[in-house]
Amino acid sequence: CFAFVGVACYFLTRPSIEIQLQEKLIFGAFFAGAIVCLGFSFAFHTLSCHSEMVGKLFSKLDYCGIALLIMGSFVPWLYYGFYCHYQHKLIYLSVVVVLGLLSIVVSLWDKFSEPNLRPLRAGVFMCFGLSGIIPAIHYGLMEGWFTQISRASLGWLVLFSIHKKGTKDKIQSKDKM
């Protein structure tokens, strides 16, 4: 969390001649999502043993932080991937915001924290994260798959899919998530 704060401060305080305001805002969304996610996670894991009420509150905030990180992670990719396609960029960014807000609303729902809804918790965030496949396929069809792999980081999406396999395995395990 502190490393992200340091990198964000360095990046966001660079002179406009080095990094334009528009780019600072785009990456600022990512940095904000990462800092809030890591901060909420730190708070949850530090304070969850205080009391049941505090544990539930910070559990909700932890899930909200995950949703904010997913939202923030989409912004730079969609902004630069669809840089020359304003309408597509606007639609996909709007969908990400709506899905993110829905994830946050579900996260704040009291029933959401019950142990029997563990698959739902994981499913909400997996669906939100994997929704990035749609703009990735769209971009690949528009710009070509070679461009998708070399410039828009399709390889990272493949690695993300492998990570989601680990998430699925974690959900199916008996450990608390």
Q: Are residues 126 and 150 in the same domain?
A: no
Q: Are residues 30 and 54 in the same domain?
A: yes
C-alpha to C-alpha distance for 57 and 54, rounded to whole angstroms = 5
Residue 44 has a CB neighbour count (10 Å cut-off) of: 19
DSSP string, 39-66: HHHHHHHHHTTS-HHHHHHHHHHHHHHH
Question: How many domains does the structure of the chain reveal?
Answer: 2
pTM of the complete model: 0.80
Q: Are residues 105 and 164 in the same domain?
A: no
Q: Are residues 46 and 14 in the same domain?
A: yes
Q: Are residues 131 and 154 in the same domain?
A: no
C-alpha to C-alpha distance for 141 and 101, rounded to whole angstroms = 28
Q: Are residues 128 and 157 in the same domain?
A: no
Joined together, the tokens standing for residue 149 give 């792999």
C-alpha to C-alpha distance for 72 and 8, rounded to whole angstroms = 13
Q: What SS3 state is found at 94? A: helix
Please report the pLDDT score of residue 70 as a whole number: 92
Residues 65-86 have a mean pLDDT of 91
Q: Which domain holds residue 156?
A: 145-176
Q: Are residues 162 and 127 in the same domain?
A: no
Q: Are residues 82 and 18 in the same domain?
A: yes
Please report the pLDDT score of residue 176 as a whole number: 47
Q: Is 138 annotated as a binding residue?
A: no
Task: Report which of 118, 109, 101, 128 is spatially closest to residue 170, judged by C-alpha positions.
Answer: 118
C-alpha to C-alpha distance for 87 and 66, rounded to whole angstroms = 27
Q: Are residues 3 and 32 in the same domain?
A: yes
pLDDT, tens digit, 9 for 90 and up, residues 99-147 = 999 999 988 988 887 888 888 888 888 889 889 889 988 888 887 766 6
Q: Are residues 149 and 97 in the same domain?
A: no
pLDDT over threshold 70, residue 68:
yes
Exposed e or buried b per residue across 20-29, where buried means at least 16 C-beta atoms within 10 angstroms of its C-beta:
eeebbebbbb
pLDDT, tens digit, 9 for 90 and up, residues 15-53 = 988 889 999 999 999 999 999 999 999 999 999 888 989
C-alpha to C-alpha distance for 93 and 59, rounded to whole angstroms = 27
Q: Are residues 28 and 101 in the same domain?
A: yes
Q: Are residues 114 and 56 in the same domain?
A: yes
Task: Report which of 73, 18, 114 is spatially closest to residue 10, judged by C-alpha positions.
Answer: 18
